[in-house]
Chains A and B, each alone.
Chain A
Amino acid sequence: MAHRWTNTLTRAEATPLATWLNRRQILAGLGGAATLGLAAPSRAQGLEPNTLEQITNYNNFYEFGAGKDDPARNAHRMVTQPWSIRVDGLVDRPGDYALADLLDGLTVEERIYRFRCVEAWSMVIPWNGVELADVLTKVGVQSSARYVAFETTLQPDVMPGVRQRVMPFPYVEGLRLDEAMHPLTLLATGIWGQPMPNQNGAPIRLVVPWKYGFKSIKSIVRITLTDSQPPASWNVINPREYGFYSNVNPTVDHPRWSQASERRVGGGLFAPRIDTLMFNGYESEVAGLYAGMDLRANY
């Protein structure tokens, strides 16, 4: 592990912009810290986190239906307690772990990340979670492991999308081991300091902020270490449109729409389009993982 991630998105962004700027002005007035006051607001402008209301009412969670409001309507019936995660494959300590046991001893941190959906909308989300690397270290990754596979819970009785077979279930995803061990990669258990809402993937989900949102698999019940590339649901359904890597990349379009720009959810009817950033703005942290790879071929 190279280093622990230092968050550049801070509590300041979680404060309503006007209040925060006000506070800065007061500070500047008090201390005469003009440079501090000048540098910060420009950063704050683009990175105000979305409200919990927005984050919980615009979701893709096809188990509960393909509409953006279906998860908010249907996910409350999902059973999330008790919750256990099967850890298997190339690990030293495989088994069925109760969620609390898997997280025991790890510190839940707040991470404010940009979240970019492959459908060209985005949010800024204050996650609470632990680094996936810490969980993997805990179960002991064997040296032959190259990939990590994940699986979402399957509860057909309460999942209308599963009964209607909108896509093959259970939903599965995968990461290369170095991506999984990267300090940015999170197993999130909450949003805005609240327990993970069901429609966002309760009680525990993956967050890989430099990849399109569908890589960040929800409601995880199984983590498997493997030596070969595991299947990833959207890649299996439509490999021409969704690659295994699916890194956010403004220069490689989806066949049916441009990925060069995006729209931040919550801006209303006149929300401006903003430029999509390479690796969703995490280029300096993760570009090294793909050194020498043709990102046009490995989309």
Chain B
Amino acid sequence: MVQTINRALRALPAWPVYALGAAWAAWLFWQGLSGGLGPEPINALERRYGEVALWLLIAGLAVTPLRVWSGVSLLKYRRALGLTAFGYVVAHLAVWAILDLQSLSRIGAEIVKRPYITSALRPLC
């Protein structure tokens, strides 16, 4: 069973993870532009990008435990999952900085004053 899955996975390349990730991000942005995210799309988009980043991060971290416990190996997708997660983190940050706060002084003040913002930025530095 496990070997059948692993054999099937060998035929599937990793690049669709990037393609789907980028397409989904673009689709969400379009939704924000066209009213699909409601009357206040900036917060909605910020949150969606952040959520997807979190899910992809968890998926990437789950690759090794899955292989250890079940034998199913998704190793070849791990880099794609991680990089796509990073892409969503950057998109989340960009929406926060550019669309939400809109000014360097506000961004600076938030980073200094709010512990949760400070800790959110720490992994990037």
Residues of A bordering B, CB below 8 Å: 50, 53-54, 57-58, 68-69, 121, 253, 256-258, 261, 263, 265-266, 268-273
Contacts and interface: CB of A to CB of B under 8 A. Distances in A.
B109 A266 contact: no
Interface of B: 29, 32-33, 35, 38-43, 45, 99, 101-103, 106, 109-110, 113-114, 116
Given A68-B38, A265-B39, 12 more contacts: A53-B39, A68-B40, A69-B38, A121-B40, A253-B113, A258-B109, A261-B106, A268-B35, A269-B99, A271-B42, A273-B102, A273-B106
Contacts of A57: 38-39
Contacts of A265: 39-40
A52 B82 CA distance: 43
A261 B99 CA distance: 14
B41 A269 contact: yes
26 contacts: A50-B39, A53-B39, A54-B39, A58-B39, A58-B40, A68-B40, A69-B38, A121-B43, A257-B114, A258-B109, A263-B40, A263-B42, A265-B40, A266-B39, A266-B40, A268-B33, A268-B41, A269-B29, A269-B42, A269-B45, A269-B99, A270-B99, A271-B42, A273-B101, A273-B102, A273-B103
Q: Which DSSP category, helix, strand, loop or mixed, fits chain B's interface?
A: helix
Nearest to A268: B41
Contacts of A58: 38-40
B110 A258 contact: yes
A266 B35 CA distance: 9
